[in-house]
Amino acid sequence: MDSADNLLHRLKELNEIGIALSQQHDINSLLETILVAAKRITNADAGTLYLHEPEQRVLRFEIMRTDSLKIAMGGTSGVPINLPPIRLYDEAGNPNHNNVASHSSLSGEAVNIQDAYTAQGFDFSGTKKFDSMTGYRSQSFLTVPMRDHDDQVIGVLQLINAQDRQSGAIVPFSGDDQQLLESLASQAAIALTNRRLIWQLEKLFESLIQLINTAIDDKSPYTGGHCARVPVLTMMIAEAVNRTNSGPLKGFVMTDKDRYELKIAGLLHDCGKITTPVHVVDKSTKLHTLFDRIHLIDTRFEVLKRDAEIAMLRALHEDRGSRIEDRGAETIRAEYEARIRQLDDDREFLHHCNVGGEAMSEEAQQRVRQIAAYQWRDADGKMANFASIRSADGPFKPFLSDDEVENLNIRAGTLTAAEREIINHHIVVTIKMLESLPWPRHLRNVAEYAGGHHECMDGKGYPRGLTREQMSVQARVMGIADIFEALTAKDRPYKAGKTLTESLTILGKLKLDGHIDPDLFDVFIREKVYLDYARQFLAPEQIDEVDLSRIPGVNLEP
């Protein structure tokens, strides 16, 4: 039996192992820690950790270690275990008590075997076959179930060949070994269950985030792509900054927790768009609401052309009795044809204005107002009245409504000032939603990171007008990611995706204008993050040859 001092030392070691297990966050590393600790505390040469798969009713090989044969499989070794799982029941549904690991899982009992070659009641044919192939001699076995807090077996620890601590000879596992291993198995099961629970909660949380993004995507496939790409680009920029070892940002370092926090912020950065009306988000033309109202205007032009034709025919008919000269009839027809050409030209002009692909001049806006003053006969019977052709007198109404004039005269893009306010309000909603959540400590900065991507370095952004000094590096990173994704996105309803040169030119101007962080822009260029992103998400025709010497604001010095 172990001496009192040795037992005390091993109990102290068990306590230290318990602390180490509670601090391990990666499941693979945790499982490996469990097996390595079990081998160390019992001085075993070999060991296997099995995990119970309830749905398949099997024990799956998770980690295998045999020191004397230098075998390390599963866990963090990178070497897969290709052995088939141990079935807990046969085809008829009978429990498998022939295998010692299966028996321990089914019965919930520890099994301590002095020598597998002489033991009765278990099938060790597989063990003996392994020994014959490797020259190994499997002798003492200690198999212990791992029970969680609900007393459910979640796995099995099996150790092979205990070694005498002085001579190194193979000896049976002692009663103290068994008690210590059972205690370790209990601690390990709780640590593993807790880690799994945390992992499941994290996955559930991320799934809920994806649910929100899916809802946004269902409203608009354009913003759905944006919600997926911005987090990726955000992490690419952040990792580039993390690699930087010179310049103003050389002190920026991210831990795994920091990465996860930024990832969550990226996924949630536009969650407020769930409240944004879809007709504003997807406004592909100036007159688009639930449909493009330009087609209503087309109908009105057809009414004008019909009325012009009627007026012409009426004029010809009225003057027929007065023996009108051919020259008078030609004049009437010429006026009609000129009017038709004018109406066709005006309709084509309004179609062009409706696209919103380029900035409108004041002359173009004035022409829209002139067309708006046309008079037409609507469905209520109100009459058109044109000076250029004869028609009956009567009440009339403007050809374009005030709302249509306002939309068609949008100087740039497709959104009115009121609609831009609606779009911009999404960040206010995002911040409100995120700040209302009870974030755990390792995610406490999510609202700040996600809520700052529309702020500017000079304090002219929104919604809070923050300056560079008032923002974290992560929030500034997300600002660049949001802009660059929007510039290059090829799935927007109102524009084509810009090339790399076009996008970097705009981004460089934003740097010089104090809109984005200049140091982050330098890293973005120097580390060629834009190119890595382009290869993943841009169409081939967008990836042009970039001449950095012609990009505004480029500074390649670290």
The CA distances from residue 558 to 89, 245, 403, 468, 491, in Å, are 64, 9, 52, 20, 35
Domain identity same for 320 and 394: yes
State the CATH number of the domain containing residue 529.
1.10.3210.10
Average pLDDT over residues 365-373: 91
Helix or strand or coil: residue 213?
helix
In angstroms, the CA 176 to CA 164 distance is 14
- AA letter at 536: Q
410 and 437, same domain (yes or no):
no
Position 446 in a domain: yes
Whether the per-residue pLDDT at 450 is higher than 90: the answer is: yes
Joined tokens for residue 119: 């033991």
- Kindly state the tokens that stand for 103: 């028996």
**Residues 81 and 118 reside in one and the same domain:** yes
* pLDDT for 558: 63
pLDDT of the residue at 224: 57
Mean pLDDT, to the nearest integer, of 266-289?
84
Is the Cβ–Cβ distance between 170 and 193 less than 8 Å? no
Last residue of a domain, one of 414, 432, 448: 414
Considering the domain boundaries, does residue 16 fall inside one? yes
Kindly tell me if the per-residue pLDDT of 20 is higher than 70.
no
Whether 515 and 439 map to the same domain: the answer is yes
pLDDT value at 557 more than 90: no
Please say if the pLDDT value at position 442 is more than 60: yes
Helix residue ranges per DSSP H, 270-416: 278-281, 294-318, 326-355, 362-372, 402-408
Residues 178, 240: one domain?
no
Q: Answer whether 38's CB lies under 8 Å from 67's CB.
A: no
Same domain flag for 409 and 422: no
> Quick one: pLDDT at residue 385?
43
My answer on whether 53 and 77 are in the same domain is yes
389 or 129: which leads in pLDDT: 129
For strand 397-398 and strand 86-87, is the pairing parallel, antiparallel, or unpaired? unpaired
User: What is the C-alpha separation between 306 and 299, in angstroms, rounded?
Assistant: 10
Q: Could you tell me if 122 and 33 lie in one domain?
A: yes
The answer to whether residue 286 scores a pLDDT higher than 90 is no
Q: Residue 139's domain is classified under what CATH number?
A: 3.30.450.40
Domain that holds residue 459: 220-283+418-550
Last residue of a domain, one of 393, 414, 435: 414
- Tell me the mean pLDDT in the region 323-348: 83
Judge whether residue 390 has pLDDT over 60.
no
Range with lowest mean pLDDT among 46-55, 368-377, 500-509: 368-377
Q: Is the pLDDT of residue 244 over 60?
A: yes
Confidence at 321, pLDDT banded by 50, 70, 90: low
Given 397, 414, 431, the domain boundary residue is: 414
Residue 205 lies in a domain: no
Contact present, 389 and 315 (Cβ < 8 Å): yes
Residue 203 lies in a domain: no
pLDDT at position 387 = 38
Mean pLDDT of 94-102: 95
Tokens 């209503």, located at residue: 296
pLDDT at 187 over 90: no
Whether the ω angle into residue 463 lies within 30 degrees of 0, i.e. cis, is yes
Please determine, for residue 439, whether its predicted confidence score (pLDDT) is greater than 50: yes
pLDDT at 384 over 90: no
Number of domains in the chain: 3
Alpha-helical (H) ranges within 244-325 are 256-268, 278-281, 294-318
Mean pLDDT taken over the chain: 86
* Span 356-369, average pLDDT: 87
Q: What is the Cβ-side half-sphere exposure of residue 442, based on CA atoms within 13 angstroms?
A: 11
Q: Tell whether the model's pLDDT for residue 386 goes beyond 50.
A: no
More confident residue, 2 or 35: 35
Q: Does a structural domain hold residue 211?
A: no
Paired residues of 66 in beta bridges = 46, 71
Stretch 113-138: mean pLDDT: 94
Residue 306 maps to a domain: yes
Spatial distance between the Cα atoms of 63 and 71, rounded to a whole number of angstroms: 10
The amino acid at residue 310 is I
Confidence of residue 239 (pLDDT cuts 50, 70, 90): very high
The arithmetic mean of pLDDT across residues 23-49, rounded, is: 82
Q: How far apart are CA 32 and CA 355, in angstroms?
A: 61
Together in a domain, 444 and 358 = no
At 388, is the pLDDT very low, low, confident or very high (cuts 50, 70, 90)?
very low
Predicted pLDDT of residue 80: 92
Q: Which of 13-17, 180-184, 189-193 is least confident?
A: 13-17
For 463-477, what is each residue's pLDDT tens digit? Answer: 999 999 999 999 999
Q: How far apart are CA 442 and CA 532, in angstroms?
A: 29
Q: What is the reported pLDDT for 322?
A: 55
Residue 446 has pLDDT above 70, yes or no: yes
How far is C-alpha 404 from the chain's CA centre?
37
Q: Once rounded to an integer, what is the mean pLDDT over residues 396-405?
A: 83
How confident is the model over 153-170, as pLDDT tens digits? 989 999 999 999 889 999
Q: Are residues 45 and 10 in the same domain?
A: yes
The answer to whether residues 440 and 339 belong to one domain is no
Strands 141-147 and 111-113, sheet pairing: antiparallel
| Whole-Å CA distances, 455 to 108, 459, 462, 514 | 59, 7, 5, 11
Q: Find the mean pLDDT for residues 521-546.
A: 94
- 289/106: higher pLDDT: 106
> Has residue 1 got a pLDDT over 50?
no
Residue 389 has pLDDT above 50, yes or no: no
Across 210-214, 245-249, 437-441, least confident range: 210-214
Token readout for 116 is 């597998």
Within a domain: residue 390? yes
Give the separation between CA 481 and CA 230, rounded to whole angstroms.
6
The percentage of the chain sitting over the pLDDT mark of 90, rounded to a whole number, equals 54
**More confident call, 292 vs 103:** 103
pLDDT of residue 188: 77
Q: How many CA atoms lie within 13 A of 105 on its CB side?
A: 27
Q: How many residues does the chain have?
A: 558
**Shared domain check, 278 and 187:** no
Higher pLDDT, 532 or 401: 532
Q: Quick one: average pLDDT of 414-442?
A: 89
Find tokens 């504003």 and name the residue. Answer: 280
For residue 503, is it within any domain?
Answer: yes
Return the sign of the alpha-carbon dihedral for residues 369, 373, 374, 379: positive
